Amino acid sequence: MEILKPIFIPHLASLKNMSRPVDDWILDSVIQPIIGNLMSIQEAVATLESEFDIYGSSPKFFTDWRWYKAILEDNNRYNEIAINLANVNTHNLLDYRFTVGPQSIEVNSKIRGLCDAVFGLLKKFEVNQSMSYLEELNENLENLCGIVKVYSPATAASIQNFTGAVEYYLLHKHFPELKEFVPFFGRGTQYLSFMRKGSIQ
């Protein structure tokens, strides 16, 4: 904690309305081992869709423009619409500082794939600190940067600042200062609410 706290204080200070103690955040987000896999909004909706319809979310991305009288005739389709909206808005989970218009499903599929690869490499690096994992990590992040800079140059600059720091670390065994990366936080937690099918007629 004594080593990590001075490093992460500037990062957390950049977050608007940050209320958690720095020590707690470091224990939960950095020191605690990574266990299991992540679950996307799409996976959560698909897992429950046989019995439940999505009702709402935070952040709010679910907007249904259908005429209210047509919804029941249309077999609800809440979950299908929500998954489609999540697919074209996944990129907005990457950087909480910016919200941009929908991107294609193909672009967001690439973003999700690269983020999943980075998460997998972090899990491997936690067990075995092989430098080859960091090299592979950087390759994935550079590919991500190439996609992101099209719609969010500032996000791309933050990622590039980190990949440059990793390259520096591989050569010099210590990290340089990370100015552009410091305020870069994703929308790491999403909340979904569901209603049992048939509960509202």
Do 155 and 98 form a contact (C-beta atoms < 8 A)? Answer: yes
Lowest-confidence pick of 13-17, 70-74, 165-169: 70-74
Q: How far apart are CA 105 and CA 80, in angstroms?
A: 14
For the chain, give every domain's residue range: 1-31, 41-94+191-196, 106-185
Alpha helices in the chain (DSSP H): 4-13, 22-26, 41-48, 68-73, 78-89, 105-127, 131-148, 153-172
The predicted pLDDT at position 43 comes to 95
Query: How confident is the model over 80-120, as pLDDT tens digits?
Result: 999 999 999 999 999 999 999 999 999 999 999 999 999 99
Of 38, 43, 75, 41, whose CA–CA distance to 60 is shortest?
41
Q: Which residue has the higher pLDDT, 150 or 62?
A: 150
Of 2, 57, 60, 59, whose CA–CA distance to 26 is shortest?
2
Query: How confident is the model over 24-81, as pLDDT tens digits?
Result: 999 988 888 888 888 999 999 999 999 999 998 999 888 877 766 666 665 678 899 9
Mean pLDDT of 149-162: 97
Long-range contacts of 47-53 (CB under 8 A, 24+ apart): 48/194, 49/79, 51/196, 51/197, 52/194, 52/195, 52/196, 52/197, 53/78, 53/79, 53/194, 53/195, 53/196, 53/197
Q: Which residue has the higher pLDDT, 18 or 144?
A: 144
The predicted pLDDT at position 78 comes to 86
Lowest-confidence pick of 7-11, 69-73, 181-185: 69-73
Distances (CA, A) of 42 to 82, 89, 181: 8, 11, 28
State the sign of the Cα–Cα–Cα–Cα dihedral 26, 187, 112, 165. negative
pLDDT tier for residue 142 given thresholds of 50, 70 and 90: very high
SS3 142: helix
Do 191 and 43 form a contact (C-beta atoms < 8 A)? Answer: no
The predicted pLDDT at position 157 comes to 97
Average pLDDT score, the chain: 90
The predicted pLDDT at position 92 comes to 96
The predicted pLDDT at position 75 comes to 65
Q: How far apart are CA 184 and CA 94, in angstroms?
A: 9
The predicted pLDDT at position 116 comes to 94
SS3 191: strand
pLDDT tier for residue 173 given thresholds of 50, 70 and 90: confident
Q: Which residue has the higher pLDDT, 188 or 196?
A: 196
pLDDT at 201 over 60: no
Q: How far apart are CA 99 and CA 101, in angstroms?
A: 7
pLDDT at 159 over 90: yes
* Tokens 């204080």 -> residue: 9
